[in-house]
Amino acid sequence: MPIFKNPNFDFLKWRWPAVGLSLLVIVAGAVAVAMQGGLELGIDFSGGTAVFVEFDDPVTEDAVRDAISGIAEESVVQQFGPAEANQLLIRLPQSGPEEGASLEEGANALREALLQSSVGGFNVIKQELVGPVIGDVLLRRGYSAFGFAMAGILIYIGLRFRFSFAVGAIIAVAHDVLVTLAMLTFFGYELSLNVVAAMLTITGYSVNDSIVVFDRVRENLRKMRRDNFATLVNTSINQTLTRTIITSGTTLFTVMALFVFGGEVMEGFAFTMIVGVISGTYSTVFIAAAAAIVISERRAARRSLTTGAQTPATSKPKRRSKKGRARARA
Amino acid sequence: MAKNLRWKLLLIVGVVVAGVFAVTPPEDRIRLGLDLRGGVHLVLQVETDDALQVETETLAEQVGEQASVNGITLTSAAAVSSTEMRIEGVPPDRDQEFRDLADELLQATYDRESGAGGTYTYRMRPGIERSLREESVRQALQTIERRVNELGVAEPIVAPYGAANDQILVQLPGVDNPASAKEIIRSTGLLEIKLVQEGPAPSRETLLQTRSGVVPPDTEVVFGPTGPVSATEYYLVRRVAAVSGRDLRNAGPTIDEYNQPAISFSFNREGARKFGSFTGANVGRLLAVIMDNRVYSAATIQERISAEGRITGNFTQQEAMDLALILRSGALPASLTYLEERTVGPSLGADSIRAGFIASVAGLVAVALFMLSYYRLSGINAVVAVALNLLIMLACMAYVGAVLTLPGIAGFILTIGMGVDSNVLIFERIKEELATARGVRAAVSAGFDRVFLTIVDTHVASLIAAMFLFQFGSGPIKGFATTLFFGLISNVFTAVFVSRTMFEVVLSRRREAVLSI
């Protein structure tokens, strides 16, 4: 039961509408982010206090809010995990950067307030206190990890394939990251260390997908020299389409399992992966190759302008294919 | 069976046996991260400025003392910052003499920056500053290590941390109420015994009444609950300590004459000599036992004491034990501030493990069912490869002692889904090759050969991402990067080598080969 029997879709015809759709999502995401005043940072990056409390008896979020109202101006109280578990997450903002303000002050005040109140017995099951210094460091490290990973992959693909492919892959990755950020904002997930880890994994995944197509393009460049480059890329996408679909399918199975069964802590990670896998597959088919084609054609056009005449054929297949392309377009 | 096929099979069986051996029993072999087993994760900043400040203050004081011993009167000699001291009012006629004696004390570690009008500024040399900072972090690290070891926590981690290496990471598995552990780690633990000049008095004002509110030079005001009813009392004491924690040999909890918990301590040889001559010279006067700038007890010196002493106060049994521990482990060279604290209760960790396990099994079953239904018998090949992939991954982690964290479990689950990609790539290629009407053996062999480079490329790209994730990640994220890393490496082995060998074994048994794919 093959998924496609000799698929031959004209993906390139759809590349501009696809780019439009992606831009729409990304711009909407940017607007949403701007409206809430920046990305929603989790405690890992913003710093502050998060206390996960398990209550002996069912309590309402409002009762807890009342109990701790004296501690901080902006506290967040929300349910954590299934309702019957009686677990609440209470978040307090950074207690202020003033020198000497001790990290645990907020958490201690919180315990005290809960003890004084009538919410009943409770047990702190998890507590995270992140100072402003660490938050900044973690955020900066997140950016560095991203920057360096992107640069490393760019260089590797540039060496193994050609420059335009590397740029195409990176554009696809940037696309996936932006779409994922937009979706995280739409669905109200905050940026945590886990989410950043998921996004880096998506980077690897998306590049993988692109590489499989590029590899096929490289192989076809040797076999189908006479074809127009765009046609050749389209054929390559079609030839690898079954694999692309199956792989994103199996990966989706597993991240869905993680989303459903993995518990509250991994939910953000799993959600990011789900969005990333879908976006990664989409960008491989519609964005990466299209970008590579546009860049290749630009470069080829510039080259034929500067050299004036066509360069004499060399024995290298890579060169010849470029020349062939220029001829086909002429 | 061909000879080299037998070797391949033998190698695979060897890897499986080694893998199983490495992970049994799993609860002992796989180290769990704090987020799974519960515990405390702390990041502390060593305020290295403190150590520099002490150094500069001590030397400035020494310069002042030396000058007065030699009959040179200075207006002041004091530290103006942690690395800078200023000496004012050197009489013009004694200028050269002062320079000589100051140089003798400071030349090795400080640079003289100016000397106009009898005012000198000395600044610590950058090299000395750096090594002092490093030294104070190293000392803090050792002190904390000693304290953590005395706490009796199994498998604690105390390690340098942060880009500047002036932070310390402390991980205490299994500790779920960190308040007392945190207090013990952070206490400076500086014990000082100082001569009392005035006091006790109920307030600062009454203490300084006879001196019209001015604290005389070389003295300072300290306070603490020394009285029987634990009211705060104020003392004016000499700034320079007669003996300090550095002179201690040992400390332990004890009981005082009123049956109250107390701390006894004994001096080392140097400390005993100093304390002996100090108490001998000041019989009848009051001395104060001060720890971290808080007076714990004050007592009249009855006679010359040298070997040991005792700190009494309103301690509980636990406090006495904790303080003795802090004294035993030595003083911190600088104060510490907490930058980060994460505590996970053991029940939450157990829940996470259960959830991760269920998700893994669900993911594996879904992927296996799909592969079997889509690729039929060849699907078995892929499922075996994935299972082996997971085994090797776990074995590698057990072997290098890597820590499994909750995101690490996610990496495990992802490896199931993404690892099967290599099999899909190969199978799809074999199908294509079969379509061009070649023989089955040729198709299989061409399928593996053609796809091999693609697999290398995709894996290298993913490894680059995993490497940077490891490099810049912290704690749990490092765990994720580790699982991802081992998953990728072992995937190349299982999806290419093992899977191919399985095909070859199947095909070598039949004359007219057909492939269920």
List the B84-88 sheet strands across, edge first: B76-81, B84-88, B120-124, B110-114
Question: How many C-beta atoms surround the C-beta of residue B145 within 10 A?
Answer: 17
User: pLDDT value at position A57?
Assistant: 85
Where in chain B are the domains? 3-36+347-509, 49-128, 187-340
A4 lies in some domain: no
Contacts of A306 (CB under 8 A, 6+ apart): none
User: pLDDT value at position B334?
Assistant: 81
A130-178 pLDDT per residue, tens:
887 788 888 888 888 888 888 888 889 889 888 888 888 889 999 999 9
Q: Fill in the amino acid letter for B379.
A: G
Put simply, the chain B residues between 160 and 179 with a CB less than 8 A from any chain A CB are 162-163, 179
% of chain B at pLDDT higher than 70: 96
Q: Give the pairing of strands B76-81 and B110-114.
A: unpaired
User: pLDDT value at position A321?
Assistant: 45
A274 lies in some domain: yes
State how far the Cα of B246 lies from the Cα of B249, in Å rounded to an integer: 8
Q: What is the DSSP letter of B92?
A: G
Contacts of B514 (CB under 8 A, 6+ apart): B440
Please check whether residues A239 and A273 belong to one and the same domain: yes
Determine whether the interchain pair B465/A219 forms a contact, defined as Cβ–Cβ distance below 8 Å. no
Q: Which domain holds residue A321?
A: 12-38+135-329
User: pLDDT value at position B13?
Assistant: 93
A154 φ/ψ angles, rounded to the nearest 5 degrees: -55, -50
* Chain B residues within an 8 Å CB radius of A207: 458, 461-462, 465
Give the CATH number of the domain where residue A117 resides.
Answer: 3.30.70.3400
State how far the Cα of A204 lies from the Cα of B456, in Å rounded to an integer: 13
A265 lies in some domain: yes
| pLDDT at residue A60 is higher than 70 | yes
Picking from B163, B343, B473, the nearest residue to A126 by CB comes out as: B343
Cβ-contact A187, A25 below 8 angstroms: no
Any idea which of A205-219, A294-308, B199-213 has the lowest mean pLDDT?
A294-308
Nearest CA in chain B to A126: B344
Q: Domain B3-36+347-509 adopts which CATH fold? A: Multidrug efflux transporter AcrB transmembrane fold (1.20.1640)
Determine whether the interchain pair A125/B473 forms a contact, defined as Cβ–Cβ distance below 8 Å. no
CA distance B275 to chain A (A): 35
Question: Among A103, A130, A157, where does a domain finish?
Answer: A130
Q: What is the DSSP letter of A286?
A: I
Question: Among A130, A165, A196, where does a domain finish?
Answer: A130
Report, as an integer, the average pLDDT of B176-192.
Answer: 78
- What is the signed CA dihedral for B391, B394, B397, B403, rounded to 10 degrees? 170
Give one word for A181, left, alpha or beta, with left for phi > 0 and alpha for psi -120 to 50: alpha
Please check whether residues A32 and A94 belong to one and the same domain: no
User: pLDDT value at position A101?
Assistant: 55
Please check whether residues A287 and A191 belong to one and the same domain: yes
Q: How far is CA B205 from CA A4, A90, A290, in A?
A: 92, 45, 81
Please check whether residues A216 and A293 belong to one and the same domain: yes
| pLDDT at residue B439 is higher than 60 | yes
Token pair of B297 as six digits: 């007890």
Higher pLDDT, B499 or B287: B499
Picking from A103, A207, A242, the nearest residue to B428 by CB comes out as: A242
Report, as an integer, the average pLDDT of A191-211.
Answer: 87
Nearest CA in chain A to B478: A197
Cβ-contact B370, A250 below 8 angstroms: yes
* Chain A residues within an 8 Å CB radius of B411: 201
B361-399 pLDDT per residue, tens:
999 999 999 999 999 889 999 999 999 999 999 999 898
Q: Domain B187-340 adopts which CATH fold? A: Gyrase A; domain 2 (3.30.1360)
Token pair of A260 as six digits: 């459903």
Give the count of domains, chain A: 2
- Of B399, B400, B416, B316, the residue nearest B356 (C-alpha): B416
Q: Domain B49-128 adopts which CATH fold? A: Alpha-Beta Plaits (3.30.70)
Report, as an integer, the average pLDDT of B316-328.
Answer: 80
User: pLDDT value at position B183?
Assistant: 81
Please check whether residues A182 and A250 belong to one and the same domain: yes
The overall average pLDDT reported for chain B is: 85
Picking from A194, A208, A257, the nearest residue to B359 by CB comes out as: A257
User: pLDDT value at position A329?
Assistant: 42
User: pLDDT value at position B492?
Assistant: 93
State how far the Cα of B193 lies from the Cα of B297, in Å rounded to an integer: 10
Please check whether residues A85 and A206 belong to one and the same domain: no
SS3 A127: strand
Nearest CA in chain B to A153: B461
A7 lies in some domain: no
A162 lies in some domain: yes
Q: Does B406 touch chain A (CB under 8 A)?
A: yes
Higher pLDDT, B393 or B105: B393
| pLDDT at residue A81 is higher than 80 | no
User: pLDDT value at position B16?
Assistant: 93
Picking from B340, B344, B411, the nearest residue to A126 by CB comes out as: B344
User: pLDDT value at position A326?
Assistant: 42
Report, as an integer, the average pLDDT of B74-96.
Answer: 86
Please check whether residues A34 and A56 belong to one and the same domain: no
Q: Does B437 touch chain A (CB under 8 A)?
A: no
Q: Sorting pLDDT into bands at 50, 70 and 90, what band is B11?
A: very high
Nearest CA in chain B to A262: B355
A83-142 pLDDT per residue, tens:
777 888 888 887 654 444 577 778 888 888 888 887 788 888 888 888 877 888 888 888
State how far the Cα of A304 lies from the Cα of B79, in Å rounded to an integer: 72
Token pair of B78 as six digits: 């004091």
Q: Sorting pLDDT into bands at 50, 70 and 90, what band is A280?
A: very high
State how far the Cα of B84 lies from the Cα of B491, in Å rounded to an integer: 59
| pLDDT at residue A43 is higher than 90 | no
Put simply, the chain B residues between 459 and 488 with a CB less than 8 A from any chain A CB are 460-462, 464-469, 471-474, 476-477, 480-481, 484
> In DSSP terms, which residues pair with B403 in a beta bridge?
B31
Picking from B162, B466, B476, the nearest residue to A193 by CB comes out as: B476
Q: How far is CA B61 from CA A85, B65, B67, B105, in A?
A: 62, 6, 10, 11
Please check whether residues A156 and A304 belong to one and the same domain: yes
Q: Sorting pLDDT into bands at 50, 70 and 90, what band is A315?
A: very low
User: pLDDT value at position A98?
Assistant: 45
A5 lies in some domain: no
User: pLDDT value at position B226?
Assistant: 64
Determine whether the interchain pair B407/A157 forms a contact, defined as Cβ–Cβ distance below 8 Å. no
User: pLDDT value at position B475?
Assistant: 66
| pLDDT at residue B507 is higher than 60 | yes
User: pLDDT value at position B478?
Assistant: 82
Token pair of B493 as six digits: 């082995």
CA distance A233 to chain B (A): 16
State how far the Cα of B479 lies from the Cα of A222, in Å rounded to an integer: 42
State how far the Cα of A202 lies from the Cα of A181, in Å rounded to an integer: 12
- Of B454, B363, B434, the residue nearest A2 (C-alpha): B434
Determine whether the interchain pair A263/B484 forms a contact, defined as Cβ–Cβ distance below 8 Å. no
Nearest CA in chain A to B186: A102
Put simply, the chain B residues between 113 and 142 with a CB less than 8 A from any chain A CB are none
Determine whether the interchain pair B461/A252 forms a contact, defined as Cβ–Cβ distance below 8 Å. no
User: Is the peptide bond between B200 and the residue preceding it cis, with omega within 30 degrees of 0?
Assistant: yes
Question: How many C-beta atoms surround the C-beta of residue B437 within 10 A?
Answer: 7
| pLDDT at residue B272 is higher than 70 | yes
Q: What is the DSSP letter of B514?
A: -
Residues counted in chain A: 330
| pLDDT at residue A323 is higher than 70 | no
Please check whether residues A65 and A157 belong to one and the same domain: no
User: pLDDT value at position A1?
Assistant: 52
State how far the Cα of A256 lies from the Cα of A277, in Å rounded to an integer: 11
% of chain A at pLDDT higher than 90: 20
* Chain A residues within an 8 Å CB radius of B372: none
Residues counted in chain B: 517
Picking from A127, A219, A239, the nearest residue to B343 by CB comes out as: A127
The kind and range of the H/E element at A29 are helix A15-35
**Highest mean pLDDT pick, A37-41, A133-137, B32-36, B486-490:** B486-490
- Of A259, A132, A148, A87, the residue nearest B472 (C-alpha): A148
State how far the Cα of B512 lies from the Cα of B517, in Å rounded to an integer: 16
Interface-testing mutation among A242, A253, A273, A281, with chain B (most B C-beta atoms within 10 A): A253
State how far the Cα of A284 lies from the Cα of A233, in Å rounded to an integer: 12
State how far the Cα of B478 lies from the Cα of B468, in Å rounded to an integer: 10
| pLDDT at residue A224 is higher than 80 | no
Q: Sorting pLDDT into bands at 50, 70 and 90, what band is A328?
A: very low
Determine whether the interchain pair A254/B413 forms a contact, defined as Cβ–Cβ distance below 8 Å. yes
Give the CATH number of the domain where residue A324 resides.
Answer: 1.20.1640.10
State how far the Cα of A243 lies from the Cα of B304, in Å rounded to an integer: 89
Higher pLDDT, A137 or A280: A280
CA distance A24 to chain B (A): 28
| CA dihedral sign of residues B427, B433, B435, B440 | negative
Put simply, the chain B residues between 61 and 80 with a CB less than 8 A from any chain A CB are none
Cβ-contact A52, A124 below 8 angstroms: yes
- Of B81, B100, B82, B80, the residue nearest B90 (C-alpha): B100
Q: Fill in the amino acid letter for B306.
A: S
Picking from B342, B370, B466, the nearest residue to A250 by CB comes out as: B370
State how far the Cα of B310 lies from the Cα of B369, in Å rounded to an integer: 73
State how far the Cα of B359 lies from the Cα of B416, in Å rounded to an integer: 11
The kind and range of the H/E element at B378 are helix B377-400
A317 lies in some domain: yes
Please check whether residues A206 and A291 belong to one and the same domain: yes
Question: Among A130, A156, A178, where does a domain finish?
Answer: A130
A43 lies in some domain: no
Q: Sorting pLDDT into bands at 50, 70 and 90, what band is B329?
A: confident
